[in-house]
Amino acid sequence: MAKRPKKKGVTAKEAAADQSNLSIIYIHGIANKPAPAVLKRQWDMALFGVDMGSRTRMAYWADIRYPQPLPSTMTEAKAMILSESYRPRSDEEIIDESKRLAPYGKDAEAFAQKLAKRMLDQSKKDQIRAQDGTLDVKDVQAKILPPWIRRSATEWITKQFIEDVAAYFYNQEQRKAIQERFRSLLNPEGGPYFVIAHSLGTVISYDIMRELTAGSGAQTPYYITLGSPLGIDEVQDNLRKPVRIPAPVKQWDNFADLLDPVAFDKSLSGEFAPTGKIDDDIVINRDTLRLSGFNPHSATGYLATKNVQTTVRKILGSSFAEPLSPFIVARDLAAEMADPTERFPVLIELKEEMTGKTLEEKRKNLIEELTRLTDRQRAAKIDPLRRFVAAELTSIEIDTLAVRHPQLQIARIWKNSEKRALLDKSTHVVQAYTAQLGYGATGRGITWAVLDTGIAADHPHFKTYNNIAAQWDCTGIGAPRMPKTGDVGDGSGHGTHVAGIIAGSGTGENALYRGMAPEAKLHIYKVLDDDGRGSDSWVIKALDHIASINEASPSLVIHGVNLSLGGPFDPTVYGTGFSPLCRELRRLWRMGVVVCIAAGNEGRLIIETFAGQQELNLDLSIGDPANLDEGIAVGSVHKEQPHLYGISYFSSRGPTADGRAKPDLVAPGERIVSCNARFAAKRPATHYVPMSGTSMACPHVSGIVAAFLSSRREFIGRPDQVKAFLLSHCTDLKRDRYHQGAGMPNLVRMLAET
């Protein structure tokens, strides 16, 4: 059958008018699939060559039929080979087996047998015509493929199609659940929508779109069907009559491969009223051209064809797939949103225009909307911050917020990313002990915030100078909480170890263990759980609290913060150093608070290869928020012989993803001895323990700056000058700038030259 002449369809001008707010909805077809996010990305890559983030959504229903998804590396071709149906069988065997595939009564069995016979008969006809040239097959590979490969593929596809289509038509519970997956993405307030459907997905989407009316509710002006069974009489018998083009559809393009056993009626134009309005196009599925993995019904094979891509590009315009397009839902969040049943941790950022409602009013309105939208479910974990609201929402709830973002004054919806503790004789190495003795730089009168896993506040190390000024738990919903009794605790031990490097002093036989600024006061914020894991929202909650304390006082109360935590980031989502967390840290810096951040422990990576484990040393491994330009990013160096052994193998290296030099400097981070949260009070030998990582290097710098400020108070509230002075007085270790930064801090030099 020759390709039909193209109809006029929607004009380029009309398409351009819709393109600015057009959303694509994919709906997949038969057989089990990989996890939702994996499948969506496969379709994005096949059609556009890039991950499209929130601009495309997948109506995923495979889990309703198949509880366990395919592994991400499992293709349909591999699944075909592994199935027992890959053994060629007679038509009679397949038709007889089809009854078992439709266990929903006599009508379902009769439907399955009739459909199996028709599919097998049509497949034989198509293959014969492909061989003798009466079909317009332009690629010789389809002709010379061994018949047993084509036969086996046809058997497998036929079995999967009959099994799934019978369930859809004759299992009403599954049919309703499957339909709801597609219907839920058609937000009446959103759109317009461009629906791209494959296989049984064309039946499901048609079923729902047939209910829509033009001009009201969800609008679906563009419709592409791939390998569709909508032309099959047995399928049409189960659809609403008469079969006609859905009212909102302005342009319908249908694509079929000549050897696709599901789309054996290649033309839909004459089937759906008004006739002649559907553009039917014969294509060669990319997976038809493969000897290994032959599959003329492959969804990604259809999406990768030039005909489909050209049609999509004409509708969307060339800029739709631009990676840097504006967005409301961040790309890394959108990439995970394909699973309709899961809740995703989000950070909803409020607009901060000076006109109109106050930030407090906007936050209140958003919380009311979230409460209504989530039906007051506790699972939503709605947690208001200053400029953000954290929550755990379903993909449908996120989509609803995105559609209503102008009314709700939402700037962006970000992924609430995970942060983790960066754990993988030092006072003398950075000259802190000498400065304490010679300059009285002990941290007295300086307060530092430690954002970490908490603290064992009863540790003797913190009793000598009564270092712990306040403790706050930020790991729950609501405002930071002070412990009613005892302290916030530290099930991890990481936070206690970090705090002990900044301040405090041992006694008796442990008197040699002193913090960099032994007399500094500490405000402890628990932002990581006892496994050393937390979220951006918990950290931002602590930063909001620190800002409010400083704003309520005529002078700074908290002079600096230590963040021995971090995580990876996606530079396609936001500029390097401009994540929500980085922007809140920048506000604090501009308030006059020094920000010290561990650079990360990603300098060494172990990967699995066919030859076994291989180790790689990585540049460009600075994490988030260490990539904040204003902050002081701290790498790790050997604690006793830094000139000889240099930078720690695990310490993250620069430059940043946008080309800036980081880390800013390095400090001791290997086997650093500090407070043990699991100490036994009467056994001094258990009071201290060694740990390694940039987590240990960072508090060295926090303590050094606290000690410096206690002796040179004119620099309080001037973090830019403090950072410049700190870096200009480092000891050069003669290592690469992207490894060592300015070198290792020297507190005595800083004090001697001021």
Residues carrying an active site annotation:
452, 494, 695
**DSSP H helical segments within 325-382, as ranges?**
331-334, 359-373
Q: In the structure encoding, which two tokens stand for residue 711, read together?
A: 């002796």
CB 267 within 8 A of CB 280: yes
Alpha-carbon gap, residue 29 to 31, rounded angstroms: 7
What is the DSSP secondary structure assignment for residue 242, as one 8-state letter?
S
According to DSSP, the residues that pair with 607 across neighbouring strands are 614
Residues in the chain: 754
Alpha-carbon gap, residue 269 to 255, rounded angstroms: 11
According to DSSP, the residues that pair with 24 across neighbouring strands are 56, 194
Q: Which candidate, 671, 701, 667, places its Cα nearest to that of 689?
A: 671
Residue 366, helix vs strand vs coil: helix
CB 669 within 8 A of CB 600: no
Q: How far is CA 255 from CA 3, 194, 308, 368, in A?
A: 10, 16, 8, 46
Reported as type and span, the H/E element at residue 637 is strand 632-637
- Degrees (nearest 5) of the Cα angle 701, 636, 737? 95
- What is the amino acid identity at position 401? L
Alpha-carbon dihedral angle through residues 327, 329, 332, 334, given to the nearest 10 degrees: -110
Residue 347, helix vs strand vs coil: strand
Residue 22, helix vs strand vs coil: coil
Q: Which residues of 448-459 are buried (b: 16+ CB within 10 A; e: fewer)?
A: bbbbbbbbbbeb
Angle between helical axes of 147-170 and 106-132 (0-180°, round to 10): 150
CB 127 within 8 A of CB 150: yes
Q: In the structure encoding, which two tokens stand for residue 108, read together?
A: 């379902």
According to DSSP, the residues that pair with 273 across neighbouring strands are 244
Q: In the structure encoding, which two tokens stand for residue 726, read together?
A: 């700190």
- What is the amino acid identity at position 312? V
Asked if the peptide bond before residue 242 counts as cis, ω within 30 degrees of 0, the response is yes
- What is the amino acid identity at position 521? K
